[in-house]
Structure 1
Amino acid sequence: MLIILAFFNWYLGTLSAEKKIIEMPNLITESITCLTQSATNNQKFTVFITDRPMAEKLLDTLCHTNAINRQYGLVEIRWSNNEQEISQYVGKGLADLALVKDNVMQAFATQTTHSYKIIAQYQDYAAYFVSLKEKPQLSKQYLWGKKLGLLDYPSSRSGHIVPKGLLNELGIAESDMQITYVKSHEALRDLLASGKVDLISTFWQEQDIERFSLNYKTPLETKVSGSKWYLKMATENTDLLCDVQAALHQLSNEIHSQYYSQLNLSQFNCSPVDVKSQVNQHEK
């Protein structure tokens, strides 16, 4: 009887555990989608970015463009800083539109193999070591043993490539410092402000003056290439190109970021005003 009762209790516990697993919501979201007006079209327009905050604004704008509504049934925006995912979506040409650094595209020769074209780009910027209490020095003696905050994705120039290059030049191994890796530039700033690291490697923005001193930043590289928007152009799909450019232009006016608001559009045979009005017509 005791054995039967124990088995019955185990069985009830198993059912309860399975129910909890089934009902547990997925809290990690890495993509968002929207349906276009072409309900019977099974073509998907895929966007790949590394910056999560711009996803929702961009999705709404893209889903109201004429060309995408005619040519696609679904728009999906995915975001990630994972190198493996970047190589999947960009290196294998899975993304129709991608926001990445040019060194990533060059590594995969994507402009040749997948017909990606640069349709817009953000301004070049400088990379800095930023400290909370003193001006960082670019010497082996100064940096040895310091607590350094870096980004954990190797494609970031200001947050990973440039500082790692300097450490290599100075003959400083990673084990010679206490390096903390985080997911974003904002997380780097939080690390520094809380005193958890001695210095971080990042770019400088106007609002940083509210938390850090201008006297306590040291340039590592004065001209770092800005991120670029690449559109896959297997055909001369000018309508799509012009509508996507208009959507990116609208995004730059709406997003609250000093860096992402400074967008330069590549010159094509587009009429930005007319295309912008086409985007707005869908919203009326």
Structure 2
Amino acid sequence: MLASWYAGVYSSVIKSENLSNLISQSLTCQTKSVKNSDEFVAFITDQGMASKLLSALCSNQTLNRQYGKVTVQWSHNEQEIIQYVGKGIADLALVKENVMLAFAAETTYRYQTVAQYKDYSTYLISLKEKPKLTKQYLWGKRLGLLDYPSSRSGHIVPKGLLNELGISEANMDIVYVNSHEALRDLLATGSVDIISSFWKDIDDQRFSANYITPIKTKVSGSKWYLKMETQNTDLICEIQKTLLQLSSKTQSDYYSQLQLIPNHCQLPLNAKIPVPDEK
């Protein structure tokens, strides 16, 4: 079901791909190995992370030895997720676990989990009252959602709730935007009655924690997957170190809570390693 659903310095490049006239956005850099034709491709869904990730990857000695070019691609489009992850084009991918499961990409292309973000809860958030998870309450409400179906908290979970309650989208006034921050802006200005998102500490400055209702707890966080066609230990260790460095510098509550998956790398003492049976 999931498969059918999903069915120089640095130069910014906007390029057209032959994917139903989709527009792909990417950042590319040349490594020191100018005669090396191999390209390292990273695929993410967060545009704000792209330039920082590219900078870190392009300055990495191991990638400079093994590859001639590094490209960071970003998109929320389902068809591009299928292209880069479902068809194994991406060497490094930040996606939800259900994407990998949908295409059996871990076994088909030998993707290996190298890091993950913490599980979180999905909430209905209101401005003036505590939302109720009932058909009577939600019927006719103005609901703010994310416009990309790969988002668990902003699309999949709330859509699942509506389906469980037997509420047709025709009976809801749904407003779609392209970021969680935009959802918060809609709610703060009264453009919608409720939104579906995660809750972060800073939200207390704009909204009341008394007016949030959990839809689902323990929603699995995004994971970093590295394609390991060979036993390239140097690469996996350097990727983990790079991701850990990025997480330590980010201002995001979510992206700062990175957990590295145990392996034989010599990791920093402060690296967060999840307990195997924790999830």
TM-score (norm 2): 0.87
**Matched residue, 1:110:** 105
Match of 2:5 in 1: none
Aligned identity (percent) is 64
Give yes or no for the alignment of 1:31 onto 2:26.
Answer: yes
Provide the rounded CA distance (Å) in 2 between the counterparts of 1:255 and 1:268.
24
Count of residues paired in the alignment: 251
Q: 1:268 maps to which residue?
A: 263
Aligned residue for 1:10? Answer: none
Residue aligning to 1:141: 136
- Please list, as runs of the form range in 1=range in 2, the aligned pairs for 1:156-235 lying within 5 A after superposition: 156-235=151-230
Greater C-alpha radius of gyration: 1
Instruction: Report the Cα distance in structure 2 between the residues aligned to 1:267 and 1:273, rounded to whole angstroms.
Output: 12
237, 241, 245: which is aligned to 2:232?
Answer: 237
Q: Counterpart in 2 of 1:8?
A: none
Letter in 1 for 2:100: M
1:246 aligns with 2:241: yes
| 1:54–1:255 CA contact under 8 A, matched in 2 | no
Deviation at 1:272, TM superposition (A): 2.3
Query: Counterpart of 1:53?
Result: 48
Q: Which residue of 2 aligns with 1:18?
A: none
Query: What does residue 152 of structure 1 align with?
Result: 147
Q: Does residue 44 of the first structure (1) align with residue 24 of the second (2)?
A: no
User: Of 35, 57, 62, which residue of structure 2 is paired with 1:67?
Assistant: 62
Deviation of the 1:29 alpha carbon: 7.6
The answer (yes or no) to whether the contact 2:24–2:73 under 8 Å persists in 1 is no
- The aligned amino acid for 1:247 is T
Question: Could you report, residue by residue, the CA deviation over 1:209-267 in whole angstroms, capped at 9, with x for unpaired residues?
Answer: 11111111000011100000000001110000000000000000111100000000011
- Unpaired stretches in structure 1, ≥5 consecutive residues: 1-24, 277-284
- Cα distance change, pair 119–26 in 1 and its aligned pair in 2 (3 A): closer
1:212 & 1:30 partners in 2: Cα distance? 34
CA distance in 2 between counterparts of 1:184 and 1:85 reads 18
CA contact (8 A) 1:192 1:200 kept: yes
**Could you list the runs of 5+ residues in structure 2 that have no partner in the other structure?**
1-12, 16-22, 272-279
Alignment-derived partner of residue 14 in structure 1: none
Any conservation in 2 of the 1:130–1:217 contact (CA below 8 Å)? yes
**Corresponding residue SS for 1:60:** helix
Q: 1:90 aligns with which of 80, 85, 88?
A: 85
Q: Is the 8 A contact 2:97 2:222 kept in 1?
A: yes
Which has the larger share of helix? 1
TM-score by length of 1: 0.85
Structure 2 SS opposite 1:272? coil
Q: Select the structure with the greater relative contact order (CA < 8 A; seq sep ≥ 6).
A: 1
How far 1:37 moved relative to its partner? 1.1
Runs of 4 or more consecutive aligned structure 1 residues displaced over 3 Å after TM superposition: 25-29
Amino acid at match of 1:238: T
Between the aligned partners of 1:66 and 1:159, the Cα distance in structure 2 is 38
